[in-house]
Amino acid sequence: MFPVNVTGDAAATDRRIEIRSAGGAAATWHIPEETPVAFVYNRRNFAVMLATPLDIVDYVVGFSLTEGVVDNVSDILGLDIIHTEKGVDLRVRIAKKRLERFDLRQRRRNMPGTAGCGVCGLESADAFFAVLPQVSETPVKLNEKIVLKAIKTLDGRQPINQRTHTVHAAAWVGLDGAILQAREDVGRHNALDKLLGALALANADIKAGFVLMSSRCSYELVEKAARRGVTALASISGPTNFALRKAAEANMALYARGPSGVVELVG
C-alpha cells in the first residue's frame, strides 16, 4: 500500500452529552461527530465533505475511485492525513498520468459537500446523467432470505450507531448472507466510499457478494457502486425513482426491505 503520514491528534467519532428527559431525569446521550474533510490532490483542492473522522485511509481510496480521480489503488502514491482544530486535510499524491487524464479544475466541486449529499457542488448537472458502466450482462438474482439474514445482523456490526442511533452503515455481504466488512459514517455515501475503499485495498472479489446499506437507496449509492462493479445493492428502505432507473441502466440488482419482507426492485 502507499505510504501514509499522520499529523495531529485524531478526532473522536462521537461525544457524550448530558440530557434531561421531560420528566426531569438525567441521562447520557452519545452524538456522532461531523467533521469537514478536505480532499487535495497534488496540491489542487477538489472537495470538502462532512464526514465521521474514522477509517480515513479507506475513505480516501473509496472516494478517489468512485469520483474517478484514480482508476486503481496503485495510482495513489502517498497520503498525508493532517488533523487540525477545524477538521481533516487529506493531501493525496497521485500518479502524474492521472492528472493528465483527469482535469481537476473542470471536474472539481465548487462548494462543500454535505453529509447527506454525495454530489453537492458539481459544476454541471450533466454529471447526474453520465451513462453508468454495466456491472453484469443481466441483473444477478439474490435469495431474499439471504438478504434478510444480513439485514437482521447489520445492527451488530455498527458500534458507533449502537451508541448514537444516528449514523449510517455500508456492509459487504457474502453470498451466504454473512457480513464480512462494515463501515460507518454520518453520510450514507461516505460509509459506502469507506467500504468500497476497504474492499479495493483488500483486493476483494467484487462479484462474490453484495452491498447492504442501512438507508434508502439513492442515486449516488448506485453510481458509486456501479463504478466499482458491484452487481447487487440492498437497502433497509426503498430507492428513489432516479436510483431505480440508474440501476436498470447498469444492470445492477436492487433489493429493499418492504412491508412484507425483502423484495427485488425492477426498474
Q: What is the mean pLDDT of each run of 10 residues along the chain (267 residues)?
A: 92 76 73 91 92 96 95 96 94 88 57 58 61 92 95 94 92 97 96 98 97 94 97 94 94 90 81
In sequence order, what E strands does 116-219 have?
168-174, 179-185, 209-213
- Catalytic residues, by residue number, are 117
How far apart are alpha carbons 200 and 205 in whole angstroms?
9
pLDDT at residue 36 in the model: 95
How far apart are alpha carbons 68 and 79 in whole angstroms?
17
CATH architecture for the domain at 144-265: 3-Layer(aba) Sandwich (3.40)
CATH number at 4-128:
3.10.20.10
4-128 and 144-265 share one fold:
no
pLDDT at residue 101 in the model: 67
CA-to-CA dists, residue 101 to 69, 208, 240, angstroms = 9, 31, 32
**What's the first-to-final CA gap in the chain, in angstroms?**
39
Task: Name the DSSP class of 141.
Answer: -
Q: Grid coordinates in use for 46?
A: 477538489
Q: To which residue does cell 500500500 refer?
A: 1
Report domain extents, the chain. 4-128, 144-265
How far apart are alpha carbons 257 and 184 in whole angstroms?
20
Q: To which residue does cell 432507473 refer?
A: 245
Provide Rg for the chain, Cα atoms: 19
pLDDT at residue 261 in the model: 84
Burial 86-119 (b: 16+ CB within 10 A, else e): ebbbbbbbbbeebeeebebeeebbeeebbbebbb
- 93, 77 contact by CB (below 8 A): yes
43-58 pLDDT per residue, tens: 988 999 999 999 999 9
How far apart are alpha carbons 30 and 164 in whole angstroms?
5
pTM recorded for the entire structure = 0.90
